[in-house]
A and B are shown apart, each in its own frame.
Chain A
Amino acid sequence: SSELTQDPAVSVALGQTVRITCQGDSLRSYYPSWYQQKPGQAPVLVIYGKNNRPSGIPDRFSGSSSGDTASLTITGAQAEDEAVYYCNSRDNSANQWVFGGGTKLTVL
């Protein structure tokens, strides 16, 4: 399958923990990467590999995977974390890379 499925929208209270999920067959074989996109800006890589953060990404962002589902967890969400989050993975059946549809995170 060449699809990655994400919930369209998730909300979290300020300071609480939120999990954003990504589901797809390819995740059984490949770790996803996660991107944060704020309005009018290019996406920014926040998690890659098993659970790696690029330099400058706060440690409240973490990633995990189990079976066909991967998760991006924000522990202690901040107002500046409000954004759309996309997962991305190599497609298991075709030589291509696929993005999930994105999850809009609202911090209340």
Chain B
Amino acid sequence: QVQLQESGPGLVKPSQTLSLTCTVSGGSISSGSYFWSWIRQPAGKGLEWIGRISASGSTIYNPSLKSRVTISIDTSKSQFSLNLSSVTAADTAVYYCASAYFGSYFDYWGQGTLVTVSS
């Protein structure tokens, strides 16, 4: 069974870049069957899809975040990463990484990590 674990700073200053990493275990990050996604959830609110990356490095981003988001993958480390630039308080949320089987549905999720944007 695939397991995912987010890691990264829990506090980021406004205007800086939020950087998170998701480590994949129990399955191959190089599998062509999966796309690797980031999803976030502000406190008390719903889920927002941020974007995804394939094992080959092909990316798709939420149009509303596209100008600030970069997702990358390091198959040698079984990790994929999220960079979100020019953050504001509105980017404060629990950030989840998830696997998307053939990009259709999110079958495995990390436990989530809270990132607070504050000075």
Question: What is A's interface to B at a CB cutoff of 8 Å?
Answer: 33, 35, 42-45, 48-49, 54, 86, 88, 90, 94-102
Contacts and interface: CB of A to CB of B under 8 A. Distances in A.
Interface of B: 37, 39, 46-49, 52, 60-63, 96, 100, 103-107, 109-112
Given A48-B104, A96-B60, A42 B111 contact: yes
Contact of B109 (A43, A101, A102): A43
Q: Does more than half of chain B's interface fall in helix, strand or loop, or is it mixed? A: strand
Contact of A33 (B46, B48, B62, B104): B104
Contact of A96 (B47, B63, B96, B107): B63
B47 A45 contact: no
Given A42-B96, A42-B112, A94-B63, A99 B49 contact: yes
A99 B47 contact: yes
A91 to B, nearest CB: 9
A101 B60 contact: no
B71 to A, nearest CB: 13
Nearest to B109: A42
B47 A48 contact: no
B105 A33 contact: yes
Nearest to B111: A42
A33 B63 contact: no
A90 B49 CA distance: 11
7 contacts: A43-B106, A90-B103, A90-B104, A94-B63, A96-B49, A99-B49, A100-B46
Contacts of A49: 104-105
A88 B49 CA distance: 9
A96 B35 CA distance: 13
Nearest to B66: A96
